[in-house]
Structure 1
Amino acid sequence: MIPVLLACLTACENTIKSEEIKPTDAIAGVSFVESVTAKAGQTVIPYQKYVLDNGLTLILHQDRSDPLVHVDMTYHVGSGREEIGKSGFAHFFEHMMFQGSENVADDEHFKIVTESGGTMNGTTNSDRTNYFQTVPANQLEKMLWLEADRMGFLVDAVTQEKFEIQRETVKNERGQSYENRPYGLLRERVSEAMYPLGHPYSWQTIGYIDDLNRVNVNDLKAFFLRWYGPNNATLTIGGDLNVDETLAMVNKYFGSIPRGPEVKMPIKPSFIIEADRYISMEDNVHLPLVYMSYPTVSVRHKDEAALDLLSSILGGGKTSLLYKNLVKNQLAVQASVSHPCAELACTFNMLALPHPASGKTLADMEKVIRDSLLEFETRGVEDDDLIKAKAEMEANFVFGLQSVAGKVSQLAANETFKGNPNYIEQDIARYANVTKADVMRVYKKYIKNKHGVIMSIVPKGQKALVAAQDNFTPAARVIPELAVTSDTDLRVRKAKDNFDRSLMPIAGANKAVDVPQMWRETFTNGIKVLATQSSETPTTSILIKIPAGHYFEDKDKAGTAALLAAMLNESTTKRSAEDMSKALQKLGASVGISASNSYLAININALTKHIDATLALVYEKLTAPAFLPNEFDRNKNNAIQGAINGKKNAGYLASNAYRQLLHADNIAATPSGGSEASLASIELSDIKALYQQQVKAKGSEIILVSDLDKSSVLKSLSIFKSLTGEGKALTLNLPESNAKRGVIYLVNKDNAAQSAIRIGKRSLTEDVTGEYYRAYLMNFPLGGAFNSRINLNLREDKGYTYGARSYFYGDKFSGTYTASAEVRADVTDKSIVEFVEEIKRYAEQGISDEELAFMRSAINQKDALKYETPSRKLGFLAQILEHDLTSDFVKERNDIVANISKAEINALAKKHLNLSEMLMVVVGDAKTLKPQLQALGYEVINYEI
């Protein structure tokens, strides 16, 4: 796919500013490398680069626009550095790095970051592992202390107990994301067939269960000691920072950590596929799938850019050949092309899922794909292909600069893989210089008459549907005899300090966070406008809300609003869907239309220089939809197939059953996307009727964040002043169902590796500063944060799940309280016991003093992160307009958090956490689960969706 690396044009030079950073005075142990500053005519992210004596690379980017910092620690190690028989280690360590270190107690890392008002996570891929936090600027030293402690003081804190629990958590993640998900094993099977035995990409980052079961805790420690030294890491910090102070803090906490073993760039193994390799598998899916994958180059190879462009021409949206030849004519429900790249290899991937009504097989899909390649040879590369791709890259780059996290992650990646944070302009040049001849050349070199892996996934029991009989079996993994790693084999490196690392730094006062300055306007036609100016990037983001959502439908025709949204994304009376898509792509603009419960939402992101042209196209979509019968049929049929396929997903089944059981026979009991039956009953006339009734001016809202001033914004929005009319007002009564409480409703999913659990009841409607908000505060330590009681119990203590939570959700018409998780099938009953005990204990005993302090600190220090990006500002403004608030509600909420008493929270817990008022939904293998659940003492009722 096209990366976020395209020319920013001159506007960025004026709107994305950082102070010109000068090399600081020398600090012992820290060497200055280079300083890059913003200059006219250049596309750069300003930074300073340093290297500590122990090899740690440090990159600093100063950005004073918001009082926050983003800290990224990237280690140049991923699954591609693992050995046969020891797969999944890099990802396993991503988990272990959050489990505490010598000076940070178990599960304290998440708590400290959350309590600081920040967010955090970690990710692992084949080539690198990164850990990152975004926090208020005053919390920077605390984050450096945390990162340094797990770099230099982790090994001795990795216990056998932690190892076993996280091993189970990783297994749960594999079950949830791979084995229990339709098509979830596709990439694993293709990689096994694509790469030679032992190639580091022949296994997935998650690894194999057998490998995880085979190794011991010392094997894991040895992996850490090999790869997680400072000389194999890049620390990148961006935001509202003081350079001299930051350098001193980094040197203090990281400077004494000893170097690890030397690390060389990995070798790129070469291989050739001499004949097409057909493989297949049966899966719990509704639709068969064919996937064709060809080896190409590696990341930032000179041919990568042209191959990316080729993938766009063949399968990038409504202007692509596969869309035209497979999706538009309803031969396929879905077809796409991608060209993902990694450090050692890239693949060119094409996939299609045939539409059942077409009568086409996977062999037919393969033939159409191959014929589309031949058509490309004849068609060639058109001027618009280059224009679209380059406009998209420009927009992606600019939008990537809207957050300090986006800028930091780009600096970190460029340093890790190129040794040069300032690689942006070289990347820009790679794409800007692609010619038509380049695209055709790479097609002939890497795709035409070349061989790859052709994977068929078919529903269970339908092996005859494969594209071709299997002709390839990957070589069996030969696991070498693995020596047992003992304590004496570990070469632990110890830092020597002149300060006490056990003392967590104390943060200074939070910097003041200003609520965005906003202005309002109401057009004479009734459209309300709420906007704010943000000059950090030359972009405009808009959310248009039209009262025409799911709740305006008849329950027997649920999905009408979703289909209306889909049709507004199709042809207009003035241009085809393909021409509309092409016009938007040439502007580098994105327009997405979707339906929520109450509204149609039009999300618009555009470069400000193209805002008028973009809004003209949006206006055309809204006022001149063609409502073509063939486009309606395609979208309706695809929606039906999506609803059928959703029944293969345990989470989808659980959510639908839960929704039905909590609501009486009304619109809220139906999924907003519709069911197979409701979608089948919808006619094009229903779509037109909802459009004519509800897509009107009065009651609609425009929320906008732009670098333009008010007068310029109003001039651009004036196109919408010609809209007229008022839709039907929404009057809605959503009574509760008569479903029994205190029982378990069991939905069968044969042989499910995991069970989906929902526990809950109808509850409060949304109230921004009332009891609904106070109930959110009450639930925060129970199930509203990573280190909540429920998640720590089921995930961190027991290893039953990848994640568990509880929450209140409401709108103006109804609300629910829900506890949920997907758990290992063999611990379904145990998980319910733990859920019930945690909820019951909290209702009876209430919040602790420590939890109350944690909740207050975590929520009231989040302000620095609330308004950083245009998307966050849009959400904030939309809330104000939806509930007719003033910005003073922020202060009112802060006061509630600061002053809510322990007694009030405990009273809310007793009121809202009465388990006798709740019902339970479990989706899993009924024949196994029913007797186990009955043994818990519950009435178990079989339930069908």
Structure 2
Amino acid sequence: MNFKKLTYYLLILSIGTSSFAQEKNKTFTVDFETFSLENGLQVILHQDKSDPVVAVALTAHVGSAREKEGRTGFAHLFEHLLFLESENLGKGGLDRLSARIGGSGANGSTSRDRTNYFQTVPNDALEKMIWAEADKLGFFINTVTEPVLAKEKQVVKNEKRQTYDNRPYGHTLYVIDRNLYPEGHPYHWQVIGSLEDLQNATLQDVKDFYNKWYVPNNVILTISGDFDKEQAKEWVHKYFDEIPRGEKIDRLEKQMVSLDETKKLYHEDNFAKLPELTLTWPSVYSYHEDSYALEILSNYLAYGKNAPLYKKLVEEEQLTGEVDMFNYTSELAGQLMLQVRAYDGKDLDSVKAAIEETFKDFEKNGIPEKDLKRIKSGLETSFYNSISSVLGKGFQLAQYQIFANDPNYINKEVEKLLAVTSQDVMRVFNKYIKNNNYIATSFVPKGEAGLALENSQKAEVVEEKIVEGAEEEVDPNQQASYEKTPSSFDRSIEPPYHGKPELKIPEIWEANMPSGMKVLGITNKEVPLVRFSLEIKGGQLLEKPVNAGISHILAEMLTKGTAKRTPAELEEAIELLGASISVNAEEEKISISGNTLAKNYTETLELVKEILLEPRWDEKEFELIKQQTLSRIQQEKGDPNSIAENEFKKLIYGENSILSYNKLGTTESVNNISLEDIKNFYEEKLSPMASSFLVVGAIEKNEALTPVRGISANWPPTSIDLPEIPEFQPPAKSRIYFYDVPGAKQSVFAFGAPALSAISKDFYPAEVMNYKLGGGGFASRLTQELREGKGYTYGIRSRFLDRSYIGPFLIKSGVRTNITYEAAELVRDIINEYPSTFTQEDLDVTKSYMIKSNARRFETLGAKLNMLKEINDYGYEYDYIKDREKVVEDLSVLDIQDLARKYINPDKMYYLIVGDAETQLDKLEELGYGKPVLLNPDSEEN
């Protein structure tokens, strides 16, 4: 598990300003109002009129910490159950409603300390959402029956397999938390719970848990967006007032922990291809006075070219390509974590020694003031990013209310974070790391226990055994009889829409540079940010098999210094502006993207100019990037999802196409690439004539264009010949392909075939057709039948990949291993029956979603930038959304059926399965597509 600065981003998500902000924050505030109902429900309202959307979130102050050992996973189980049905919404609950009203897809999340339910909808549906949320809180539990509970247990267990059991390093937190927190501590177990506890949960257990914790006096309702405040208050009172208050719920006392000794544990991971070391020290709870200095300490030690751990472990010792460190805080306690995934064959004792040496150096030198300033400077940009959506604003306000008991705490937290001194950083290092005991976990590949830290003990990890027929079939559609909860009015009547959201298509401006570069922009001053992307056509398409992966390495090289700046100096210059700049190589392009404060846009673009036109070509960085790339290729060989992605491309595009290659390249091709090859590719394959600059945010056209002209004027135009791409065709007949991962707890499906390109007139109609099949989340048949009907999977989706060439139709899922054949058969049958069973009702729901969801289509700067990308990549008209609304309105049931038959044929597909061959391979022949082809490199059949 690679945690990627988890806590840092959680912290940033919670930073904001309120209407009570101090004078210095007066120029940009997030106004809010709070009130409480007599039953204890707390309500937070925030108005934002910039888009015709509203976000509604219900947050319950209950997570896994409120469970009992032996009955774990209940809080997360409820996150699932609450979407299924309630007394007045009926079967399908909020998911069916979301599809009709054009919602973002009702969703939820569970942590150690809270569970939330949220979605963004067009503002005409606000009363419907308030009605629905009230129904979940006060009119739900009677609908939970034995069959419903049995099926949802299967779904949650599939989520556990997919997220933890069937992936590299998935058990890391399980091992850490069981040894960091003593038995009886609320964080001793995982949020997901155990398979055994989930299976043993009784219906009465579930009802008791709900009745205790899901009461108004333990819940916060947040409404954020474009709505009438007084009308919203009236609806809140109408639907929530009569839900009775529950018993008094006291806040839990803080329970920070300490360790009497250092514990070293190891685990031979079935999926890991590289050894990984994680060190964990007891830390502090959220909003503790030391949490801010610990956050800055972690950031300084681990992240970026200037970080001491990066310099020592990555550059000097060459033990790894990356270091992660973060302060993971929760309501009751916290843990400071340092994680290093080493290169192949590296002994983790050498990693530990390098860490200790780095710490000794830090004791002597501390944190320089310029680095302290650099780290803090990114907070302003991150803050504005976090409030770019109405849902983000709602999340922040609810989090402060529930954990700090004060939504206005945001001002205090920002002040404390920015007030951290270099002395504070050294103080927390001495207090929480130096000479302190810790948990050390070594996760190593099977058969390589010798790479673990010396004197490590074998960790206790519960591994599920694959047993055919181990879990009973369930029938969640069995009708339940119950007495409805009384109400003062008829809650079964769904509230009406109010008004009609006006679709606001952003106004696009354009310009053309003399070099041939095209510029598209949108001015939007909702937040003082600018996002941009310089898109250069080519990317992987311009590679050859012998140099596969060269565009990826070039993209990595471009951010590793310039002719004027070392890699560390470039990184520092970017961060001091509170900006971010990244370069990415994709199938059809290389893009230089960024995000910056509007006031620093010109300076940020000057750095883009340096990156693009004055590369450093650092030999040391080149060798480091190659090593990191080879390590990533090695990692992917153990990840079933990566295996499925890479093998599927080979089937779709064929071995003669560069598109069939991993974008990282192969071990052989990467080893063969020289720095001279990179320079030649840069000179020959990057040109302004094949480029477009896209920009959105708080900046006017003329101001935006000035630095772009500087890039264009200094970039010599050369003609780029993009290769002709063949018309990829579906197979003449279906065939099953299997990649063996011994002991896999799930089988990963990738079913599909070449279909059509994004520039085809049928592409969008085909997307509309796919909504009810597998593109509509919980509204889709694949989800309803495989997840909701059978409990076979945690999630399944189908989609048409958008490319300028013919891309594939793809169905992707992970299913529990012991029903691999049954799930594959069911998917095939659903596809086969879809055209003949698609109804007018299906079309009505599809049209309603496709048209209504446009109201929230351009809410954030990121969404606006994506709009420009679609226009630039595929030649769409600027108002293509309006045209698409007409396309949707004109489609008939017969049109949908014809599109399904034309582009989704179950008898002309590749059925790729990545799983356990010993238990699942042979039975798949019964699907009727011949003997499965085993794809493993050492297989005699491949």
TM interval, shorter chain, is over 0.9
Structure 2 residue 336 is the aligned partner of structure 1 residue 332: no
Q: 3-state SS of the aligned residue for 1:917? A: coil
Give deviations 1:350-387, integer Å, cap 9, x for gaps. 1212223xx64100101111111111111112111221
Q: 3-state SS of the aligned residue for 2:526? A: coil
Q: CA deviation at 1:718?
A: 2.8
C-alpha contact (below 8 Å) 1:7/1:394 kept by paired residues: no
C-alpha contact (below 8 Å) 1:79/1:126 kept by paired residues: yes
Runs of at least 5 residues in structure 1 that lack an aligned partner in the other structure? 19-34, 477-491
Structure 2 residue 190 is the aligned partner of structure 1 residue 204: yes
C-alpha contact (below 8 Å) 2:275/2:451 kept by paired residues: yes
Q: CA deviation at 1:40?
A: 6.1
* Mean Cα deviation higher: 641-650 or 55-64: 641-650
Q: Which residue of 2 aligns with 1:930?
A: 921
Q: 3-state SS of the aligned residue for 1:704? A: strand
Q: Which residue of 1 aligns with 2:468?
A: none
Letter in 1 for 2:225: G
C-alpha contact (below 8 Å) 1:6/1:395 kept by paired residues: no
Give deviations 1:296-341, integer Å, cap 9, x for gaps. 1111000100111110111122221111001123221322211111
Matches within 5 A, 1:498-897: 498-664=488-654, 665-722=656-713, 723-734=715-726, 736=728, 741-767=733-759, 770-786=761-777, 787-843=779-835, 845-897=836-888
Q: Distance in 2 between matches of 1:384 and 1:695?
A: 35
Q: Which residue of 2 aligns with 1:22?
A: none
* Mean Cα deviation higher: 671-680 or 589-598: 671-680
Letter in 2 for 1:527: M
Q: Distance in 2 between matches of 1:698 and 1:911?
A: 37
Structure 2 residue 146 is the aligned partner of structure 1 residue 156: no
Q: CA deviation at 1:496?
A: 4.8
Structure 2 residue 363 is the aligned partner of structure 1 residue 377: yes
Q: 3-state SS of the aligned residue for 2:913? A: strand
Q: CA deviation at 1:4?
A: 7.1
Letter in 2 for 1:326: L
Letter in 1 for 2:574: L
Among 76, 90, 98, the residue aligned to 1:105: 90
Matches within 5 A, 1:397-436: 397-436=383-422
Q: Distance in 1 between matches of 2:200 and 2:690?
A: 62
Q: Distance in 2 between matches of 1:881 and 1:111?
A: 35
Using the size of structure 2 for normalisation, the TM-score is 0.93
Letter in 2 for 1:539: L
Give deviations 1:887-926, integer Å, cap 9, x for gaps. 2322211001011111111111222222221121111111
Letter in 2 for 1:933: L
Structure 2 residue 249 is the aligned partner of structure 1 residue 295: no
Q: CA deviation at 1:114?
A: 2.3
Q: Which residue of 1 aligns with 2:340?
A: 352
Q: Distance in 2 between matches of 1:905 and 1:728?
A: 39
Q: 3-state SS of the aligned residue for 1:823? A: strand
Letter in 1 for 2:608: V
Structure 2 residue 259 is the aligned partner of structure 1 residue 267: no
Give deviations 1:815-842, integer Å, cap 9, x for gaps. 1112221100000000011001100001
C-alpha contact (below 8 Å) 2:530/2:696 kept by paired residues: yes
Runs of at least 5 residues in structure 2 that lack an aligned partner in the other structure? 1-6, 463-481, 938-942
Q: CA deviation at 1:8?
A: 13
Note closer, same or farther for the CA distance 1:92–1:738 as it changes in structure 2 (3 Å cut). closer
Q: CA deviation at 1:174?
A: 0.5
C-alpha contact (below 8 Å) 1:193/1:474 kept by paired residues: no
* Mean Cα deviation higher: 146-155 or 639-648: 639-648
Q: Which residue of 2 aligns with 1:906?
A: 897
* Mean Cα deviation higher: 823-832 or 633-642: 633-642
C-alpha contact (below 8 Å) 2:59/2:398 kept by paired residues: yes
Matches within 5 A, 1:180-195: 180-195=166-181
Note closer, same or farther for the CA distance 1:858–1:7 as it changes in structure 2 (3 Å cut). closer
* Mean Cα deviation higher: 796-805 or 680-689: 680-689
* Mean Cα deviation higher: 737-746 or 258-267: 737-746
Matches within 5 A, 1:118-137: 118-119=103-104, 120-137=106-123
Note closer, same or farther for the CA distance 1:580–1:171 as it changes in structure 2 (3 Å cut). same
C-alpha contact (below 8 Å) 2:756/2:805 kept by paired residues: no
Letter in 2 for 1:289: E
Q: Distance in 1 between matches of 2:730 and 2:123?
A: 51
Letter in 1 for 2:523: Q
Q: Which residue of 1 aligns with 2:375?
A: 389
C-alpha contact (below 8 Å) 2:505/2:879 kept by paired residues: no
Q: Distance in 1 between matches of 2:564 and 2:21?
A: 47
Letter in 1 for 2:182: P
Using the size of structure 1 for normalisation, the TM-score is 0.93
Note closer, same or farther for the CA distance 1:846–1:434 as it changes in structure 2 (3 Å cut). same
Q: Distance in 2 between matches of 1:212 and 1:846?
A: 36
Note closer, same or farther for the CA distance 1:534–1:512 as it changes in structure 2 (3 Å cut). same
CA RMSD of aligned residues (A): 2.1
* Mean Cα deviation higher: 915-924 or 877-886: 877-886
Q: Distance in 2 between matches of 1:935 and 1:390?
A: 61
Q: Distance in 1 between matches of 2:549 and 2:609?
A: 24
Q: Which residue of 2 aligns with 1:483?
A: none
Note closer, same or farther for the CA distance 1:493–1:710 as it changes in structure 2 (3 Å cut). farther
Q: 3-state SS of the aligned residue for 2:794? A: strand
* Mean Cα deviation higher: 338-347 or 805-814: 805-814
Letter in 1 for 2:811: A
Q: CA deviation at 1:544?
A: 1.0
Q: 3-state SS of the aligned residue for 2:86? A: coil
Letter in 2 for 1:84: E
Q: 3-state SS of the aligned residue for 2:702? A: helix
Q: 3-state SS of the aligned residue for 1:299? A: coil
Q: CA deviation at 1:37?
A: 7.7
Give deviations 1:632-657, integer Å, cap 9, x for gaps. 11111211111121111111112222
C-alpha contact (below 8 Å) 1:2/1:309 kept by paired residues: no
* Mean Cα deviation higher: 45-54 or 383-392: 383-392
Letter in 2 for 1:79: S
Aligned length: 904
Letter in 2 for 1:773: Y
Q: Which residue of 1 aligns with 2:477?
A: none
Q: Distance in 1 between matches of 2:451 and 2:580?
A: 37
Q: CA deviation at 1:6?
A: 7.8
Among 47, 53, 58, the residue aligned to 1:62: 47
Q: Distance in 1 between matches of 2:841 and 2:741?
A: 41
Note closer, same or farther for the CA distance 1:547–1:442 as it changes in structure 2 (3 Å cut). same
Q: 3-state SS of the aligned residue for 1:256? A: coil
* Mean Cα deviation higher: 240-249 or 777-786: 777-786
Q: Distance in 1 between matches of 2:74 and 2:177?
A: 18
Note closer, same or farther for the CA distance 1:472–1:852 as it changes in structure 2 (3 Å cut). closer
Matches within 5 A, 1:302-321: 302-321=289-308
Q: CA deviation at 1:103?
A: 0.9
